[in-house]
Amino acid sequence: MTAESVPKGGTRGSRIAAGPRLAIPARILAVGAYRPGRGVANAELSRTLDTSDAWIVKRTGIRRRCAASPGETVVTMGAAAAEKALAAAGRSVDAVDCVVAATMSYTGQSPSAAVQIARELGAKRVGAFDVSAACAGFNYALDVARSLIAGGSARHVLVVASERMSDLIDPGDRTTAVIFSDGAGAALVGAYGEPGIGPMTWGSDGSLAGVAGQDLTWAHFRDTPGCRGPYFRMRGPELYRWAISEMPAVALRAVDAAGLDLADLAAFVPHQANLRMIEAIADRLGLPGHVVVARDVEDQGNTSAASIPLAISRLKEECAVASGAPALLLGFGAGVAYGAQVIRLP
């Protein structure tokens, strides 16, 4: 070992090489969506629940939701959405360095959904892990992808949000059965010449855990003979009041962090919880009339973490907003956990 090869103040191996100080901008290059083929209209639900099409539309704005078949799993739906995102971006799976899956309904626990999605795609030697932040999961996973690219750990990250909420919902519970749905959305995030994903504003409040979440743990199910599996329960009116009172300020902080004003936005893509909530938050924000508000929930239902990428995909399909236009994303839900950022649409 020569004197020149020894770092000042120690011997080789005593320090971690810092590498170049990187802050590589990232952007969503493309999105992909997977919607199960079976649609469940309100009239079908009214045959087994004390409800009606008029009641559901008035309170939620939902007319239809998707129901996965036995073969449409969190993994297969997520992989199908990811394949569409890769195709839209003109990239092969070999370009992917990491897969980040956002899901609250994957019941396999281990190995992670992300690892299995990577396997389905044929991706090898890639990082893969899950993010659990319920309906804010896509926002969290997107910021993780941005950070991985900014730090030089990856050039392309697949963010896959996939939910099979039908596995968690009590079919006899009118509060949740009329709202939740199945589906997957994916975004390929890549290094780009200028920033396309703004700073994240986020938070959580565990004191509101009882407002939306599983009513039993899997351990309780395991240890209690004859016990049913955990169901996702929700106190809708409380969640509604919390969301419309707290989320506008979170959204405004994200716009400010991006160095923009509301007038600069082209679209608002909130978590597709229900239409009443979306419209109430948009109204309290005071969005200018030219801002397109995503309303994918009307025909898709609430797909938790998958709702935002699915809504972005529909805006793209309908050519409602131009590529490169700024859009405000806002996720919030069980936990409660929430997050927002401004992106440039792919």
Q: What pLDDT, in 10s, does the model give residues 154-203? A: 999 999 999 999 999 989 888 889 999 999 999 999 999 899 999 999 99
Q: How far apart are CA 309 and CA 297, in angstroms?
A: 12
| Strands 38-41 vs 64-67: parallel, antiparallel or unpaired | antiparallel
Q: Are residues 83 and 211 in the same domain?
A: no
- Using DSSP's 3-state secondary structure scheme, residue 270 falls into strand
Q: Compute how many other C-beta atoms are within 10 angstroms of the C-beta atom of residue 262.
A: 16
Residue 22: which pLDDT band, with cuts at 50, 70 and 90? low
Domain boundary among 133, 165, 191: 191
Q: Are residues 156 and 240 in the same domain?
A: no
Q: Are residues 125 and 32 in the same domain?
A: yes
Q: Are residues 44 and 124 in the same domain?
A: yes
Q: What pLDDT, in 10s, does the model give residues 243-264? A: 999 999 999 999 999 999 999 9
Q: What pLDDT, in 10s, does the model give residues 27-49? A: 999 999 999 999 999 999 999 99
Residue 186 bridge partners (DSSP): 32, 160
DSSP secondary structure string for all residues of 164-207: EGGGTS-TT-HHHHTTB-EEEEEEEEEE-SS--BPPPEEEE-GG
Q: Are residues 185 and 210 in the same domain?
A: no
Q: Any idea what DSSP says for residue 302? A: B
Domain that holds residue 237: 201-344
Q: C-alpha angle 274/59/246, rounded to 5°?
A: 50
**Residues with catalytic roles:** 135, 271, 302
CA nearest neighbour of 338 among 276, 234, 254: 254
Q: Are residues 251 and 289 in the same domain?
A: yes
Number of domains in the chain: 2
User: Would you say the C-alpha torsion 313, 316, 317, 318 has a positive or negative sign?
Assistant: positive
Yes or no: say if 305 and 182 are a contact pair by the CB < 8 Å rule. Answer: no
Q: Are residues 183 and 327 in the same domain?
A: no
Yes or no: say if 98 and 126 are a contact pair by the CB < 8 Å rule. Answer: yes
CATH of the domain at 186: 3.40.47.10
Domain boundary among 140, 169, 191: 191
